[in-house]
Structure 1
Amino acid sequence: MSFLLDPTRPSLYICLLSITSTPLGWSFIARNEYRHHTLTKFIGARTACSIFGVVIFLSGLLRDVLYRIALHDQPYYPLPYEIQTILAWIIFSVGNFLVAASFVRLGFWGTFYGDHFGIVKDKRVTGFPFNVLENPMYFGAKLCFVGAALWYERPAGLLVAAYVHLAYMAVLRLESPFTDMIYAKRRPSNGTARPMS
């Protein structure tokens, strides 16, 4: 097992902590904002959500850097070109495409918890890629972890990707019912996203 994973490297645990804390932190902060309007009361829904979105984006970048550092600290296992390059690029590209397509479909507010800040669409997004996958952004992110593990030829990265899957499943158990509740309470208006009063 030591040729696949080096459990003595602190970077591995820092990476796992980042993978766990970032989506859970986003979810809890957004849920607090929905219930208590902590930021919205002071700076308004759109400004608060914009700042929150930037924080989410930057923490995602930090998580990716920590993942790359962790990979480089793990044992190297050479793969055939077809897996290391071609398959890695296909998986990574599909993952990024799903993340980008989700962002385009949801828009900034939809991607960064706008509905928790009161910026709610009249109905949930159901067009591509949401008509193919229930959570395409999370699924795409998981594929990116797998693609990076293959690209850098680090078997430990596949174990981290499996951990990402478990962490995201846990977050979705919190997020999905709460988002369902938000949209169940929503009354149709003129078809545009607007802050709820």
Structure 2
Amino acid sequence: MSSLLSYVDFSKPSLLLSLASIAFNPIAWNILTQFYALEYRNKTITRMFGENARRGCYFLAFLIFSFGMLRDTFYERALNDQPRHALLPAPYNKLVPAALFVVGQTFVVTSTWALGITGTFLGDYFGILMDHRVEGFPFNVLRDPMYVGSTMCFFAGALWYERPAGLLVTLYVYVVYLIALRFEGPFTDMIYSKRASSQKKAESKKEL
């Protein structure tokens, strides 16, 4: 590990910019619950779009996707600025990262397809809830396939470009996502639990 760290140039601004951009998305969209609480309780974004929750969610989806593309650009630039060092022998130095990238992208794309735009980009904060829990692929393989797939792609990039700094960034990505999930999961569970409770009350009133 110490030998690999010697190939990490911490003085490069591009590395710090990459780390900041990686943390921004999950922190801004999942950890800063005060922002989302404003939408969930007060419909701040929805009111910006003429009381149209779906348009507000699409706007948020556009922002998240755009910042994700920017994050990937910063990561690639950071890797190019870092010292190169062989991490795997040929031909595994190309085969392994290629396989990781394909599998990772498969998890990301299929989870987005299964959830849809509103399901992927926090439509539940806008009151756009799914009728049933998604249990098909890839959610029958992983609990959080989008986060796992994204982490695999970062790992693949580090191996493909043969940059030890990329391994450090991948570990950082994993930690950031773990922290984000600690905030995102309970808040989402609360939203669906509240709906289930409301539905039960409504059914009880009908029976009376």
TM-score, normalized by the shorter chain, greater than 0.5: yes
Q: Taking every aligned residue pair, what percent have the same amino acid on both sides?
A: 47
Question: Structure 2: which 5+ runs fail to align?
Answer: 200-208
Tell me, yes or no, if structure 1 residue 75 matches structure 2 residue 83.
yes
The Cα RMSD (Å) is 1.6
Partner of 1:129: 138
Partner of 1:9: 12
Partner of 2:38: 32
- Per the TM alignment, residue 186 of structure 1 is displaced from its structure 2 partner at its CA by 1.9
Q: Is the 8 Å Cα contact of residues 33 and 116 (structure 1) preserved in structure 2?
A: yes
The one-letter code matched in structure 1 to 2:77 is I
The one-letter code matched in structure 2 to 1:92 is F
Partner of 1:161: 170
- Give the alignment of 1:1-197 within 5 angstroms: 1=3, 3-27=6-30, 28=32, 29-43=35-49, 44-78=52-86, 79-187=88-196
- Per the TM alignment, residue 41 of structure 1 is displaced from its structure 2 partner at its CA by 1.9
Question: Structure 1: which 5+ runs fail to align?
Answer: 190-197
* Number of equivalenced pairs: 189
- Per the TM alignment, residue 84 of structure 1 is displaced from its structure 2 partner at its CA by 1.9
The one-letter code matched in structure 2 to 1:55 is L
- Per the TM alignment, residue 125 of structure 1 is displaced from its structure 2 partner at its CA by 1.8
* Corresponding residue SS for 1:124: coil
* Larger deviation, residues 22-31 vs 48-57: 22-31
Distance 1:124 1:94 in 2: 23
Runs of 4 or more off by more than 4 Å in structure 1? none
**Which structure carries more helix by proportion?**
2
Distance 1:35 1:81 in 2: 55
- Per the TM alignment, residue 119 of structure 1 is displaced from its structure 2 partner at its CA by 0.6
* Larger deviation, residues 42-51 vs 75-84: 75-84
Please identify the structure whose Cα radius of gyration is greater: 2
Partner of 2:203: none
Distance 2:42 2:105 in 1: 34
* Corresponding residue SS for 1:119: coil
User: Could you tell me the TM-score, scaled by structure 1's length?
Assistant: 0.91
Distance 2:150 2:78 in 1: 17
Q: Is the 8 Å Cα contact of residues 76 and 154 (structure 1) preserved in structure 2?
A: yes
